[in-house]
């Protein structure tokens, strides 16, 4: 069995058919690891995640989930297949309670009330800070707690692979550390994570494998330990 849970092969993607943001991109997210995509603003990091989840249709190449092409599968079916996406902009329903937000994440098995309840309790075990706030309106929570709700809601569907886009954008350093700790804990639960991040040093601390993009193409790749010299990693020829 391949060690890749998600693989982008020779991928070219753009918002128009004649203009690619990504060209000939090759990315492999290995099982049980945190794989990080780094690069300057505008190089196509978030575009890669949107293509993987089906928000953008590639102009060339293929995207494989556990060895099977998912190019023509809509996002909601990708969720059923074990792939989940956490966008950069917070996506919680702020006028709903914490528990109502989590319940929405259980739509794939909504007819099984016990399973929904069990999954909610698992999230309270995972994020103890949410248990006492379960009846609180989500918009009243801190930014870090809202991220917990969003991640918890995503985990309700039991994904095996997470696409995570800029998870600490707009958060304080203290809250950002909490989010990175959450990602490490999720890896310990055997989730495979493909992370896009601007916080280079923090991303390198939690990553197992790194891809650096330049102008929408692969520039460097390798184990995170090889990228301790940031000047070398982001040197532009």
The Cα–Cα gap between 44 and 42 comes to 6
Q: Burial level of 134, CB count in 10 A (0-12/13-18/19+)?
A: middle
Ranges for all domains in the chain classified under CATH 3.40.50.300: 4-82+161-233
Dihedrals φ, ψ of 157, to 5°?
A: -85, 5
Written as six digits, the tokens of 170 are 């707009």
Counting Cβ atoms within 10 Å, is residue 49 exposed (0-12), middle (13-18) or buried (19+)? buried
Angle in degrees, 0-180, between the axes of helices 143-155 and 113-126, rounded to the nearest 10: 140
Q: Which of 93, 106, 193 is nearest to 149 (CA)?
A: 93
**Strand spans (E) along 108-236:** 161-165, 192-196, 209-214, 217-223
- One digit per residue, the tens of pLDDT, for the chain of length 237 reads 578 999 999 999 998 877 899 999 999 999 999 999 999 888 999 999 999 999 999 999 999 999 999 998 999 999 989 999 999 877 899 999 999 999 998 877 767 788 899 999 999 999 999 999 999 999 999 888 898 899 999 999 999 999 999 998 888 888 888 889 989 999 999 999 999 998 888 899 999 999 999 999 999 999 999 887 655 555 443
Per CATH, which fold does 4-82+161-233 belong to? Rossmann fold (3.40.50)
| Cβ–Cβ < 8 Å for 138, 92 | yes
């Amino acid at each position: 069995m391949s060690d890749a849970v998600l693989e982008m092969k020779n991928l070219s993607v753009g918002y128009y058919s004649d203009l690619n943001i990504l060209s000939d991109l090759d990315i492999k997210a290995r099982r049980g690891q945190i794989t990080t995509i780094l690069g300057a603003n505008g190089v196509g990091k978030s575009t890669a995640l949107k293509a993987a989840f089906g928000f953008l249709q590639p102009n060339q190449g293929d995207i494989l989930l556990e060895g099977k092409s998912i190019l023509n599968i809509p996002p909601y079916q990708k969720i059923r297949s074990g792939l989940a996406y956490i966008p950069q902009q917070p996506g919680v329903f702020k006028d709903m309670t914490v528990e109502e937000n989590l319940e929405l994440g259980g739509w794939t098995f909504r007819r099984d009330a016990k399973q929904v309840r069990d999954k909610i309790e698992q999230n309270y075990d995972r994020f103890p800070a949410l248990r006492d706030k379960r009846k609180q309106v989500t918009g009243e929570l801190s930014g870090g707690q809202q991220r917990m709700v969003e991640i918890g809601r995503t985990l309700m569907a039991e994904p095996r692979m997470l696409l995570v886009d800029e998870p600490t954008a707009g958060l304080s350093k203290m809250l950002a550390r909490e989010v990175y700790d959450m990602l490490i804990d999720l890896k310990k639960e055997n989730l495979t994570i493909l992370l896009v991040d601007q916080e280079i040093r923090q991303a390198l601390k939690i990553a197992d494998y790194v891809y650096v993009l330049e102008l929408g193409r692969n520039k460097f790749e390798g184990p995170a330990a090889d990228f301790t010299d940031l000047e070398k990693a982001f040197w532009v020829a």
